[in-house]
Structure 1
Amino acid sequence: MVISSARLDLPRSPTVSNDVWAIRGRVLSLDRPLVMGILNVTPDSFSDGGRFLDPARAVEQARRMAEDGADLIDVGGESTRPGAPAVSADEEAARVVPVLRAIKDALDVPVSVDTRKADVAREALDGGADVINDVSGLGDARMGGIVAPSGAGLVLMHMRGTPETMQRMTDYGDVVDDVAAELEQALERADRAGIARERIVLDPGIGFAKTAEQNLELIARLARLERRLGRPVLLGASRKSFIGALLGGVPADLRDAGSVGACVAGLARGARIFRVHDVRSTRHALDVAHAVLRLSPEGS
């Protein structure tokens, strides 16, 4: 695994580099695509629920993902699949924090915690989390104030409603413009909390309050999102239902090849960070695609 990093010493100016992501004292270069490996410590996630509840098994999975090329590990303790019920902050933290601490003790890899709850984020940051991945885009009014002083990175994702209600909230005028406008509001919330822009990446929320067609349109127009919002885009399409639908209804555990295809398409459209289950295949595909895409078309 190669992580390009340095001690955090970025200029504070109105112009923020879109080629770096500052996360708790180090800077990740976005000169090459970053892969974020998914580690669900939940009993009910749509793809791998129940497999990594034990911290020892979770650490071994994190180690495998790091060896396969993951630049970050994203630990989640609450399923956010469509229709999923909420769990309490206490239960979510009890799932996440022991795994987080075990990974930090065993591996030198940045760890993100996927949570929309400020209380869980506080415990995760106390446990050493490098990034908070907030699917609600600072929907919890206390979240910004907890993340700001930590220096941690922040993923702001677009979602309407909650996992229980979001698929009834897919009415958009222009899905890209509307998602961009709502992410701008999340960025403004982060600004008010004092979170520097170089610490933030943006996620359009594939599969969250989106139809299959809207997911495809968002991926096709990711470059427009990045140009408008001025921060790198994270793509989280791995094993999502729209891939299953495109492939004739294949189940989640047979969607990895389609997921890699979505990542390569997203890279060509401007995505920089990719949240995935199958790290090795995605890493290899992105490295090859990146090598091709970086060549000037005039060389053909």
Structure 2
Amino acid sequence: MSREQTSPAIIAPVRRIGRREFDFARQVAVMAIVNRTPNSFHDQGRTYALDSAVAAARRAVDEGADWVDIGGFAFSAAQAGIGAAEEIDRVAPVIAEVRAVTDAVISVDTHRPEVARAAIEAGADVINDTNGLREPGLAEVAAATGAGVVVTHSLGGPGRRVFRPSYDDVVAEVAGFLRERVAYALEAGIAPDKIIIDPGHDLNKNTFHSLELTRRLEEITAIGYPTLVALSNKDFIGETLDRPQGQRAEGTIAANVVAVLKGARILRVHDVPATVASVRMTEAVLGWRAPLAPSHNLA
């Protein structure tokens, strides 16, 4: 009798995303973060220059990332707004250069339809939308191009301030939002096997909300679509452990492993090597993969 960990029921668990295939019934994808912004909360502009952004993306793939997420506009409200043309100028050249050298999945972190279309034309496979497909026209771009979509929960969306976010039951409300936005995506013509969901840890949520989402993540994964979590170095980890930005690696790995055990299948992260190692170890413990170098010496 098999003792392998059972997975949540996932709609179309075996998926072709861009040029790669994933079996989310027994596999976790590692998504590397590349922010071409001057104000990203963790990178603080280190990958703002074009050559730095491209080098970071290539390095992440060499380190084992399955996926690279490229963004040109931060979620935080503490920033100056930029137009769609400037956002395109930030992301499209990075996407084009990375596409030319790798078969890894490429997503664009945007909520604007014109940016999404330009990114797809440059070679992106997926639209990662922290606004939950609420911007008019974005779902239609995804449907028309056949791009994948990450539908993420947030109250205000990118660049919009939400003071003291409150929920009666954060998990139930996030799940309800995601179900409603997935229904909207399907009505817009996006195929079920193109949809991924993300509960949006720390996006208009405080530390207690994000911990509760992690603790009860199986209520999100039960919706049925592959679940992405973006926990890496976030404030809820820092506040939980009383750690500054540069000292949250252990907390990030622990939270990601808990999320995988509760059904997450895509991890959006800054530290690719440590995440890949922790994911491969978790997959092996769960019986999803064999050890890479087992010893046959039984003495």
Report the TM range for the smaller structure's normalisation. 0.7 to 0.9
The residue aligned with 2:272 is: 279
Of 87, 100, 108, 2:95 maps to 100
Per-residue deviation at 1:279? 0.6
Does the Cα contact within 8 Å between 2:28 and 2:267 map onto a contact in 1?
yes
Per-residue deviation at 1:136? 0.5
Q: Deviations over 1:233-273 (max 9, x none)?
A: 1010111101111121x221221221111101111111110
Structure 1 gap segments, 5+ residues each: 1-14, 296-300
Please tell me whether residue 236 in structure 1 is matched to residue 215 in structure 2: no
RMSD across aligned positions (CA): 1.8
SS in 1 for 2:182: helix
Of 241, 254, 261, 2:254 maps to 261
Does the Cα contact within 8 Å between 1:18 and 1:230 map onto a contact in 2?
no
Does the Cα contact within 8 Å between 2:116 and 2:127 map onto a contact in 1?
yes
SS in 2 for 1:286: helix
Please tell me whether residue 130 in structure 1 is matched to residue 125 in structure 2: yes
SS in 1 for 2:226: coil
Structure 2 gap segments, 5+ residues each: 1-8, 289-299
Of 58, 66, 70, 1:63 maps to 58
The residue aligned with 1:109 is: 104
The residue aligned with 2:292 is: none
Does the Cα contact within 8 Å between 2:11 and 2:192 map onto a contact in 1?
no
The residue aligned with 1:153 is: 148
Of 242, 247, 259, 2:241 maps to 247
Q: For 2:181, give the aligned amino acid.
A: A
Q: For 1:252, give the aligned amino acid.
A: Q
Please tell me whether residue 210 in structure 1 is matched to residue 205 in structure 2: yes
**How many pairs were matched up?**
279
Rounded to whole Å, the distance in 2 between the matches of 1:43 and 1:188 is: 35
**What TM-score comes out, normalization by structure 2 length?**
0.88
Q: For 2:268, give the aligned amino acid.
A: R
Q: Deviations over 1:58-81 (max 9, x none)?
A: 222112111211000000101113
Does the Cα contact within 8 Å between 1:222 and 1:233 map onto a contact in 2?
no
Per-residue deviation at 1:150? 1.3
**What TM-score comes out, normalization by structure 1 length?**
0.88
SS in 2 for 1:244: helix
Q: What are the equivalent positions in structure 2 for 1:117-196 lying under 5 Å apart?
A: 117-168=112-163, 170-196=165-191
The residue aligned with 1:11 is: none
Of 11, 17, 25, 1:17 maps to 11
The residue aligned with 2:295 is: none
Q: Deviations over 1:44-66 (max 9, x none)?
A: 10111321223322222112111
Of 254, 272, 290, 2:283 maps to 290
Q: Deviations over 1:67-107 (max 9, x none)?
A: 21100000010111353443211111111011111111122
SS in 1 for 2:100: helix
The residue aligned with 1:8 is: none
After superposition, the Cα gap between the structure-2 partners of 1:272 and 1:99, relative to the gap in structure 1 and judged at 3 Å, is same
Does the Cα contact within 8 Å between 2:113 and 2:135 map onto a contact in 1?
yes
The percentage of counterpart residues that share the same residue type is 38
Per-residue deviation at 1:191? 0.9
Q: For 1:140, give the aligned amino acid.
A: E
Does the Cα contact within 8 Å between 1:131 and 1:154 map onto a contact in 2?
yes
Of 2, 23, 29, 2:23 maps to 29
Does the Cα contact within 8 Å between 1:21 and 1:200 map onto a contact in 2?
no
Q: Deviations over 1:203-238 (max 9, x none)?
A: 0000011110110111111111121x2111101011
